[in-house]
Amino acid sequence: MPRRRGDTREQIREVALELFAEQGYEKTSLREIAERLGVTKAALYYHFKTKEDIVTSLFEDFKADVDELCAWAREQPVTPELRREVVRRYAEILRRSGGRLMRFMLENGPAVREMKAGGDARERFRAFTDILVDKDASLPDQIRARLSLLSLNMSLVLQNEIGADDEAVYAAALEVALDLLPPG
């Protein structure tokens, strides 16, 4: 049975992230991605013209999930439980698909800073922070809100170093993120 176009795109994205993790973004070429997939460079170009196009497509998916969560949260009354639910739902986005992207961003910071998609991700982070803490909150509470989200992101990088399975790290990171949320 022939592969569908969407399947090929997803395979390209998966392999690209694997290679970026192994070698770094800058040291990975489209040729290497094509070779790992067992396709020609021309076949890869059909889906993505550049490495940045691959990363941008990943950011777009993540951005859509985050935007949906932010839109939902903005329609709700702001309560401590809403803030906790936003953190839980963000953790689930990371768990499903955004985690690979966050890991890429954290491991390839200089390359990401040069990409437009990296700036978009920072905007999403600010949008979440606005939901998690009032603008007039104390400085420690503003920092707590940001650290709550960052703890989820950083746990993705630590998974390999901690020696625990992904589910245990996820549960522990969520617990820490919820504990960091400002009270009230």
CATH top class, domain 51-180? mainly alpha
**Residue 123: per-residue pLDDT:** 78
- Cα-Cα-Cα-Cα dihedral of 113, 115, 120, 121, to 10°? -50
pTM: 0.79
1-49 homologous superfamily: Homeodomain-like (1.10.10.60)
Q: Among all chains, which residue has been given the structure tokens 């049975």?
A: 1
69-123: pLDDT as tens digits? 999 999 999 899 999 999 999 999 888 876 777 777 777 777 777 776 666 667 7
pLDDT at residue 2 in the model: 43
Segments of the chain with pLDDT less than 70: 1-6, 98, 116-121, 160, 184
The residue whose two tokens read 């935007």 is 67
What per-residue string of b and e applies to 131-169 under the rule 16 or more CB within 10 Å gives b? bbbeeeeeeebbebbbebbebbbebbeebeeeeeeeeeb
Helix 139-162 and helix 80-93, axial crossing angle in degrees, nearest 10: 30
Q: Which SS3 state, helix, strand or coil, does residue 128 take?
A: helix
Sequence spans of domains, the chain: 1-49, 51-180
Alpha carbon separation from 37 to 20, 28, 50 (Å, rounded): 14, 14, 16
